[in-house]
Structure 1
């Protein structure tokens, strides 16, 4: 009798095990839904880290708040970045102290991007194929 109960119990557990398998929804899943999945070239991902840290954290308007989840293609289609054209890239020319002839003023009241951060932004823009 005990063997039969044990056998039935193990069978029930075995049948229920697949129910627990599947996609796990945790904070990472929520973050990916909210902020986008970080995919793209190494240059884009490095530039995106700077944008998230130095730009998106202050810009709260709906048109800017989504920058953290914006893909490279969306930056281009929105006219924020122009492939291999620093002067034509609005996002880049808004950066205070950038190396173009166009004066910018961001981050407003904040510390300008470092040379290394500017190098990263430039490497990304210059790596995009038109």
Structure 2
């Protein structure tokens, strides 16, 4: 994407365009991470609540497993609870992938409107002499 941007803008705007691109990409990554982390935590929270009702004797262990996933595979964790916790994380991660589908569709639709610009074969002067 950066190469496509740099090909499309004037040489005098190269630094500004590159900086803006990196800033927007970083901001988008931060917002995307926050959104998808929220989706995962909300889904996982609802599943964990159900697990605590299903396994009331292991409520403390389930709470520990949310903050430290190594507890899931610990020898002290019963195998049925371990598998239930793994399934909870899988379902929560699946929700993240489902939440990303609209963004993927939007990117594909927007990509249709990107015009073809051939790459330059020579670098233009950026400073007037």
Normalising by structure 1, report the TM-score: 0.28
| Structure with the largest fraction of helix | 2
TM-score by length of 2: 0.28
Looking at both structures, which has the greater relative contact order when contacts are Cα pairs under 8 Å and sequence separation is at least 6?
Answer: 2
